[in-house]
Amino acid sequence: MPESVVKSLLQGKPIRHPLHPMIVHLPIGLFVIGLVLDIATYFGHGSVNLVRGSYYMMAAGVAMGLIASVPGFVDWLDIRDDHRSKGLGAWHMSLNLVVLAVYGVELYARWWKLDIPKCDVALCVTSVVALGILFVSGYIGGMMVYHDGIGVGRHRRHTPKPLRTIVLSAADSPDGYVTVPDAQTVEDGKTLRLDIDGTVIALAKVDGEFYAFQDFCTHRCGPLSEGSFQYGQVMCPWHRSCFDMSTGQVIHGPAKVPIKTYAVSIIDGQVRIKMREAPLPEPIVHSAAAHARALDRPWKLEASEMERRAVKSETSAAPRSDNPA
């Protein structure tokens, strides 16, 4: 089932460009110019026109900020629960709401001072502080895009991305296979992100077949579980590296290193991923410690030394028929 149309629109998928980063330019510019106008009132005799201009800019800034928060929130909902950008996004959102609240209060305070040609010092300082908070929050937003690739290449994916990582273990598995619960109900084009004893794997269902491969692209570690699929290949959302999902080979760069793939089998309708070969029978231990125990010697001796002594004691214990009388 493809994603809802509303969500797709708010994420800017038809125009291949997320909406939130586009709209966000406006509150930033408007709040900055508001402060510039405030400072300009301190030169010469000031100006009621500047004060009013600053007021309009601030009001428009708050309005555009509120509008920008809608696609921003939708974008944030689409981030995986355990991704560090979920937390970064929460900080970004909270700081921005604080900024909007501060400016909201300022708008109220300024309403009574629109006829004074110079900006109130306390309000000016408040604007500076609010801009400072906005700068920090904007920086976090930049981190989300440039460090974590949030929203990058998202328009190429038309099915929902994994919103959580399923933690499984192969420790108790007798044959080295891990069963992925409820995987058989996964729809075509969807992916599951799995953590199997620390190994992170993307399980994708494409054209009725299941494929399992590492979640990290070998170019700059983009999330392959959020990629798009075509011709048995997965395409990384960040820079469009393509990998064959069965063999892991690079079909198209900029990646150069192949990705790890894992064998998937469907047994009794259940999807199972092969994590390792079946464990071998209990091996015969030839460790130095075991050898020393057998010879009743301190185990710190080197194995080669113990062997030499073992051979020597064997030969000395055996009766020597050719001893001279």
Partner 1 sequence: MSDTQQSKRKHFIETANWVLQGRWFGHPLHPFLTHLPTSLWPTALVLDCISFIKGGDHPSLTLTGWWCILAGLVSALAAVPTGLADWSDIKPQKPARKIGLIHMGINGIVFCIFLVNFILRCLAGPSEARTTLVQLILSAVGSGMLLVSGYLGGLMIYDHGIRVGKESKPYWSHVAQLAGANTPPK
Task: Name the residues that contact partner 1, by CB under 8 A.
Answer: 15-18, 21-22, 24-26, 28-30, 32-33, 36-37, 40, 47-50, 52-54, 56-57, 60, 138-139, 142-143, 145-149, 151-155, 195, 198-200, 214-222, 238-240, 255-260
Distance CA 314, CA 323 (A): 16
Closest distance between partner 1 and the C-beta of residue 316, in Å?
53
Distance CA 138, CA 129 (A): 14
Contact yes or no for 241/259 (Cβ under 8 A): no
Distance CA 276, CA 279 (A): 8
Task: Indicate the residue among 133 and 295 with the shorter CB distance to partner 1.
Answer: 133
Task: Indicate the residue among 3 and 307 with the shorter CB distance to partner 1.
Answer: 3
Q: Which whole-number Å values give the CA distances from 181 to 166, 178, 278, in the listed order?
A: 9, 9, 21
CA angle 241, 247, 253 (to 5 degrees): 20
> What single letter denotes the amino acid at residue 221?
C
Closest distance between partner 1 and the C-beta of residue 151, in Å?
6
Task: Indicate the residue among 102 and 250 with the shorter CB distance to partner 1.
Answer: 250
Closest distance between partner 1 and the C-beta of residue 12, in Å?
8
Contact yes or no for 48/115 (Cβ under 8 A): yes
Whose CA is closest to 160, among 202, 191, 206?
Answer: 191
**Kind and range of the H or E run holding 79:** none
Distance CA 64, CA 68 (A): 6
Closest distance between partner 1 and the C-beta of residue 90, in Å?
19
> What single letter denotes the amino acid at residue 300?
K
Distance CA 191, CA 205 (A): 6
Closest distance between partner 1 and the C-beta of residue 156, in Å?
9
Task: Indicate the residue among 227 and 306 with the shorter CB distance to partner 1.
Answer: 227
Task: Indicate the residue among 234 and 306 with the shorter CB distance to partner 1.
Answer: 234
Closest distance between partner 1 and the C-beta of residue 290, in Å?
32
Task: Indicate the residue among 102 and 255 with the shorter CB distance to partner 1.
Answer: 255
Task: Indicate the residue among 17 and 309 with the shorter CB distance to partner 1.
Answer: 17
Closest distance between partner 1 and the C-beta of residue 232, in Å?
19
Please provide the DSSP assignment of 235-255 as one string: E-TTT--EEETTT--EEESS-
